[in-house]
Structure 1
Amino acid sequence: MNPSPRKRVALFTDGAALGNPGPGTTNNRMELKAAIEGLKALKEPAEVDLYTDSHYLKKAFTEGWLEGWRKRGWRTAEGKPVKNRDLWEALLLAMAPHRVRFHFVKHHHHHH
């Protein structure tokens, strides 16, 4: 008996911080939080198309940044600690049950 197919979900993130960086936060942190919360809201494993206007979020996965950071013990190529490590780790955990594909959309390009 085959398991039922995963549902397909489109997730759109647009994190922002007023006066970037705002009080104790940045656009990058807000973008990561938006992705984490969106994935955590899913009740079952799904095929997720995640649409973001954040190069930071998308390139971490599509250009291997995240893989490199993890291999270097959460250090950048320059040997500096990776910013937002707490959120990257939370995002990886939130992604684990799902199959996530990242798509880049231009800033404030609305889908109808």
Structure 2
Amino acid sequence: ENSRGIKFNKPPAFQKAPRQPKKKHELLKTGTIVKVASRTGPGENLPGGVARITEVHVDKEKDTILYDVAYVLGGREKDVGAEYVTEDKKEEAPRKRKKREIFKPQLEEQKEAIQKKLKG
């Protein structure tokens, strides 16, 4: 309502979204390779990255999980919230090696040409 007594309806885009229940995070073990989300903004400069968990802190009263991590490219961070940490799945499935056959068609052609010369 404004100073003249006119009521305005809020457009749907400005209404608050219903609260989502807190997502339960699975407990990750010490030594697990994880990705830490970037947390940058005014007064905060935590770029995140790939890290290894060094310690796990579980606070049952506050129902929170916090991790101490050591980044692969250097540096450490303590008490990172579980909502910023996800397990890095790349470690589980290494790439399989394939046998290369780059020159095989050319070698076959050369072999056939040599055999024709020997016969003829």
Larger Rg: 2
User: Greater share of helix residues, 1 or 2?
Assistant: 1
Q: Larger RCO: Structure 1 or Structure 2 (Cα < 8 Å, ≥ 6 residues apart)? A: 1
Q: Normalization by structure 1: what TM-score?
A: 0.21
User: Greater share of strand residues, 1 or 2?
Assistant: 2
